[in-house]
A and B are shown apart, each in its own frame.
Chain A
Amino acid sequence: MAVSDERISARRRRRAGGQRGGLPAGTSRTAGYFFVAIYVVLLLALGVAPAVYAIALALSTSGGVGVSHFVDTFNFFEFLPAFEHIAEFEGIWLASQTVFVVLLALMVHTLKRRVSTAFRLIFYLPGAMAGSASAIIWLFMFTPSGSPFAFILHGLHYQVLSNTVQPSNLPIVFAIMAFFTGAGGWIVIMYGALNNIPDELIEAAEIDGSSALQTAVRIKIPLIRKWIVYMLVLSFAAGSQLFVEPQILGVATNGQVPAQWSPNQLAYYLAFQQDSFNNAAAVSVDLLVIGLLVAVLLVWRGRLFEVE
């Protein structure tokens, strides 16, 4: 069967992994450097340079170099609420995403191949509508008069859109949008990771009397732990930069979502509605620092880069 062939060859490749130096010298290594070089150039131009520019902007004040922009922005009334909003959103979203993605991937992995392919496609479909498109579709879903889920909204005593998107609901609203946009893609990845678990290992566990649940909890989840951490690192970074959804919902509801709801929106507002690029850069640098800290923490605690 094609699957097992593929797995066997993958395992062989893995076994051969330690002897890279034995490959035909020169050509492949040059190609490797070439491709990495392209990436490094793009990284420097589109990643590092803007970050350096933002840091320079944030630190330059009328009196030379200083932290006054950081102090000023911290004292804005929107500053702390924006970070609270994003923390609440990330908490709801990351928790639900981790639980459901792992659970669904494990369930799909136990299904027959053809059935599981269909399910993976179905899970993946909502992800096709990313960002602005999903915001507009969800806008429709959240409007009690037009939504196919009107019975739920009416059950919550929501009669008009402004009831649904009231301020206290917004973290949940955006978490729902983000979940359906992202979860399908991650289920596919987790499924791939589960497929990499050697069959012998699972079989051995089954022979030793492990139930399906025990296999999932004791064998499969520990073996895909790195992928879960990886998902958390990337999702956290993406979530902390939440922008499109609240921005579009804000325009669509004539401002019911404030233009400074998320820190990224606050930075945009400061730069482009207040013409204050230094303050905007300060908020962006705050975001960068938080993103890096969380990534380092997760990589370190999750031992993401350790080689077995």
Chain B
Amino acid sequence: MKSLINARYWRGRSLKARVAVAAIAATSIAGASVLGVSAASAKGKSAPLIVWIDTARVPYEKAYMAANPHANVKWVLYNGNENGTGILQSKFALWNRTGWPSDAPDVMFDSQNYDAVQLGSPPYNDLLNLKSYVPKSVLGKFAGTSMKAGCTTPSGQVVCLRNDSAAEVLWVNPTLYKQFFGSAPIPTTWATFLADGTALNNAHPGYVIGSVGDGFSVDDYFLWANECPLDKVIGKGKIEINPGSANCTGITNLMDSSGDVGKSLSDDSIFSIPGGPQKIVMAVGALWEGTAVFQTGAANGVPNGTMVAYPAPTATNGAAVTGDLGGGLWLVSKHSPNKAAAAKLAQFMATSPKIQKVGVDAGLPQYVPDQAAYVSSLSSVFGDPSTTEATWKQAAAQVWDGWSPVPWSTDNVWASTDLANVTGGKPVSGELLPYAEALANQARLAGYTVESPNKTVATGG
């Protein structure tokens, strides 16, 4: 009996030990298991277009097939290249070595803003330049700088179309706000916003004005929205990282002196505030957070018609800008056998009012001609529809474009370098330099030259 156990153990272990270059073998775990094929509608003679979407985009598939009942499209579900999984990066890297298979996707939905520029630039270079496939008049109608900021490579190629806007606004629960602050105006600066938090710390502990407990909280909500230059591509392969800028220190000093961090700026994730979304008096967050964070209409969420969007606080330097968190992209493969049809499908997804409407799409369309119809149908979900509508449109065009798409996730760097320190009670301002150094290291790893007045950041040591 025991010898049998031993033998079995031997076999399992020795094989494992022998595959010492497991870097190549073991690594398919992350990539291989995520894909699942959904219903294919392969009629027609020519090969179908293959479209990869995430589960949240399944209504798009239905709407597309309703509008184009004879379309020859094969829909494949994947995780949308969810933060940190890098499915597209790993598949593309493999296919670039082995040749692109016939079942490689022609069109992909991607939930990561960083991906398009990385996948469209060397060494990948795998995305179609849409400049010659999508009319200029269409490309010019996306909100503000969104196409420039997320879809344009340093060499000037347009490698994606924006799906929905994820610009940040100040989400306010007016019922709670009135209860605690009476008729005081909604804060319009970071100083007054944080002062409200300080008042809550003392008078109503447990109620929050946001969170510092996610990898994306401090960098997206606070640093990006204050034009802090820690992720600013200033030319091909060149990035500016300046943690000493007053745009960075201004907001972090305000955060520290308010005493809100760990109290009314919760250490918990904004998605799991103790006591639920009804404890959030207000929070800076992306447009889509209005329903996602507050679980509007759900049993534990706020009732329909509660949340109102106000403009995010003005940056400490006075600029009317905001940050951005999420929002999807449509990518087209350069290796598609049918590039024109693939680009046409991507354009339909990103711009058609049959897709970009409430009930199909969960966020404000980046394509401006679709916005009016979209926001006017939101009145059942949010309170004060005219204010919310105006705020959304304004925010979508005010995202600061100095937080550039790069082939690394600034959120993940914050999470691994600084998050534990901040939730552990250390001052936020003390995290600027370590964060900048870690970002600079990532930049150098990806082949960027770092420009910074700070010598350690610029040289890496």
Contact = CB atoms under 8 A, between A and B. Distances in A.
A167 B19 contact: no
A172 B129 CA distance: 47
Contact of B416 (A258, A272, A273, A284): A258
A251 B415 contact: no
A172 to B, nearest CB: 14
Contact of B444 (A77, A247, A274): A77
B233 to A, nearest CB: 17
A171 interface: no
B349 to A, nearest CB: 26
Interface residues on B, range: 35 or more
A270 to B, nearest CB: 9
B101 interface: no
B84 A51 contact: no
B413 to A, nearest CB: 7
A163 B411 contact: no
A189 B9 contact: yes
B123 A275 contact: yes
Contacts of B23: 54, 264, 267-268, 271, 280-281, 283-284, 287
Interface in A160-205: 160, 162-163, 165-167, 185, 188-189, 191-192, 195
A275 B416 CA distance: 23
A77 B460 contact: yes
Nearest to A253: B415
A56 to B, nearest CB: 12
Contacts of A53: 24
Contacts of A259: 84, 412
A256 B415 contact: yes
A283 B27 CA distance: 14
Candidate in A132, A255, A271 with the most chain B CB atoms within 10 angstroms = A255
A195 B90 contact: no
A272 B268 contact: no
B412 A243 contact: no
A241 interface: yes
A256 B20 contact: no
B285 interface: no
B357 to A, nearest CB: 31
Interface in A69-101: 76-78
Contacts of B216: 254
Given A166-B424, A244-B29, A234 B17 contact: yes
Nearest to A48: B18
Contacts of A185: 9
A192 B2 contact: yes
A273 B97 CA distance: 14
Contacts of A247: 29-30
A234 B416 contact: no
Contacts of B2: 188, 191-192, 195
A287 B27 CA distance: 15
Main secondary structure of the interface of A (DSSP, over half): helix
A164 B303 CA distance: 35
Contact of A255 (B83, B97, B444): B83
Interface in A25-75: 42-43, 46-47, 50-51, 53-54
Contact of B441 (A78, A254, A255): A78
Nearest to B92: A275
Nearest to A258: B416
A50 B6 contact: no
Interface string B319-352: 0000000000000000000000000000000000
A195 to B, nearest CB: 7
B17 A254 contact: no
A271 B27 contact: yes
Interface in B373-424: 407, 409, 411-413, 415-417, 419-421, 423-424
B179 interface: no
A138 interface: no
A47 B21 CA distance: 8
B440 to A, nearest CB: 9
B18 A43 contact: yes
B215 A287 contact: no
Given A238-B16, A241-B26, A162 B420 contact: yes
B17 A188 contact: no
Interface string B73-109: 0000000000111100110111011000000000000
B90 A256 contact: no
B370 interface: no
Candidate in A43, A51, A275 with the most chain B CB atoms within 10 angstroms = A275
A254 B412 contact: yes
Nearest to A274: B446
A255 B20 contact: no
Interface string B351-385: 00000000000000000000000000000000000
Contacts of B136: none
Given A251-B84, A274-B446, A160 B213 contact: yes
Nearest to B446: A274
Contacts of B424: 163, 166
A162 B89 CA distance: 27
A163 B267 CA distance: 10
A288 B20 contact: yes
A243 B27 contact: yes
25 contacts: A46-B18, A47-B18, A53-B24, A54-B23, A76-B445, A77-B445, A132-B29, A160-B213, A160-B423, A162-B423, A167-B420, A192-B5, A237-B17, A238-B17, A247-B29, A255-B215, A255-B416, A258-B416, A259-B412, A264-B23, A267-B27, A271-B24, A271-B93, A275-B92, A285-B21
Interface of B: 2-3, 5-6, 9, 13-27, 29-31, 83-86, 89-90, 92-94, 96-97, 123-124, 213-216, 267-268, 407, 409, 411-413, 415-417, 419-421, 423-424, 441, 444-446, 460
Given A77-B441, A250-B84, 18 more contacts: A159-B423, A163-B420, A166-B421, A167-B420, A185-B9, A238-B13, A243-B22, A244-B26, A247-B29, A247-B30, A253-B415, A254-B215, A254-B411, A268-B23, A274-B123, A275-B89, A275-B93, A285-B21
A-B interface, 7 closest residue pairs, ranked by CB to CB distance from nearest: A255-B412, A166-B420, A272-B90, A267-B23, A284-B23, A255-B415, A192-B2
